């Protein structure tokens, strides 16, 4: 059975283009052009299909004619963990970070390529329903192997020694492999609420991790920086 997507985008051209491209990839695509329409469609699927099988993923534009897409995100997040990818023309990082912290799975700034969108969608779908399923505990990319359950990290077959803080930071990124994790999420999850404004901890420990895990820390392959937003552990399966 093909996956069901809800595409909320008010621009007709972009909506049509994205819809075609996603249909080609084999997704079942429903579209909405306004916030009201999106809410109605979302409610309908819930009624018809008994509330358990709604959409598998939602692509949400923020600047809609009848309101802000973020309202829908908040509404959605109260009930369900359907993955949401924000697509927006706004490049204000403040907005980006807020949406991610409010539970959006990813954020794409227009313009973006179809390839980029599909990759992000694959990551989001893989992480779908993390609450019920076992979380990602193993990460293997290239010559890098991270096994969270057994606290083992190796590179080119050799074991890499990490300090507890380094390991916790890496583990947090592995659990969201392929997805951007904001500074805030990392600081709260690894150090605690009171370290919210200690971004320099992240700079320091990420630097140490890159030095231990990357061939060339100045051009990291796996531990990627999203300037002004956070970090992303690359996931090439996506």
> Which stretches of the chain bind another protein, using CB under 8 A?
91, 93, 111, 113, 165, 198-201, 203-207, 210, 216-220, 224-228
Of 165 and 185, the one with the shorter C-beta distance to another protein is 165
Of 43 and 63, the one with the shorter C-beta distance to another protein is 63
CB of 98 to another protein, least distance (A): 14
Q: How many CB atoms lie within 10 A of CB 37?
A: 15
Q: What span, in angstroms and rounded, lies between the C-alpha atoms of 207 and 220?
A: 10
CB of 140 to another protein, least distance (A): 21
Q: How many CA atoms lie within 13 A of 29 on its CB side?
A: 20
3-state secondary structure of 6: strand
Of 82 and 182, the one with the shorter C-beta distance to another protein is 182
CB of 201 to another protein, least distance (A): 5
Phi, psi torsion values for 156, nearest 5 degrees: 50, 35
Tell which residue, 3, 224, 185, has the closest CA to residue 105. Answer: 185
Of 206 and 233, the one with the shorter C-beta distance to another protein is 206
CB of 184 to another protein, least distance (A): 12
164 contact partners, CB below 8 Å, separation of at least 6: none
Longest dimension (CA), the chain: 56
């Amino acid at each position: 059975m093909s996956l069901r997507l809800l595409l909320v985008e008010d621009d007709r051209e972009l909506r049509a283009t994205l819809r075609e491209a996603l249909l080609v990839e084999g997704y079942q695509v429903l579209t909405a052009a306004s916030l009201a329409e999106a809410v109605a469609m979302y409610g309908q699927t819930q009624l018809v299909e008994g509330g358990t099988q709604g959409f598998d993923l939602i692509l949400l534009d923020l600047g809609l004619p009848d309101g802000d897409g973020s309202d829908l995100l908040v509404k959605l997040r109260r009930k369900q963990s359907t993955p949401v990818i924000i697509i927006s023309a706004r490049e204000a990082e403040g907005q980006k970070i807020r949406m991610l912290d409010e539970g959006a799975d990813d954020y794409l700034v227009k313009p973006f390529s179809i390839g980029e969108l599909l990759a992000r969608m694959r990551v989001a779908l893989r992480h779908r329903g993390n609450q019920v399923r076992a979380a990602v505990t193993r990460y293997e990319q290239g010559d890098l192997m991270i096994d969270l359950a057994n606290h083992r990290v190796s590179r080119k077959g050799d074991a890499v020694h990490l300090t507890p803080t380094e390991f916790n930071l890496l583990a947090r990124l592995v659990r969201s492999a392929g997805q951007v994790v904001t500074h805030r999420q990392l600081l709260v999850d690894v150090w605690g609420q009171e370290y919210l404004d200690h971004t320099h901890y992240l700079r320091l420990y990420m630097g140490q991790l890159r030095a231990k895990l990357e061939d060339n820390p100045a051009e990291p392959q796996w531990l990627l920086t999203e300037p002004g937003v956070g970090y992303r552990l690359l996931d090439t399966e996506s």
